[in-house]
Amino acid sequence: MGVPKRKVAHARQMDRRSHHALTLPQLVECPHCHEQKLPHRVCPACGWYNGRQAVVLKTPGAEGGDKA
């Protein structure tokens, strides 16, 4: 079993973790259905992209309907 060679002091441990913060994804409003979506992605709510229906969803019109 591996054994640490030296104790990591609390300050050093927290210094290392100072870069671990996560950021929320940037969201934009879909121009078609006004849901929040990732930029440069097909809207998951309505399948709209670049001013046209890019993807036909399996459950059209369903609010927040995932699989099943």
Q: Is 53 in the site for Zn ion (CB under 5 A)?
A: no
Three-class SS state of 22: coil
Task: Print the binding letters for residues 20-49 with Zn ion: x by CB under 5 A, - otherwise.
Answer: ----------x-xx-x-------x-xx-x-
Please say whether the beta carbons of 18 and 33 come within 8 A.
no
> Minimal distance in Å, beta carbon 29 to Zn ion?
9
Cα 64 from Cα 8, distance rounded (Å): 46
> Minimal distance in Å, beta carbon 16 to Zn ion?
41
Amino acid at 62: A
> Minimal distance in Å, beta carbon 28 to Zn ion?
11
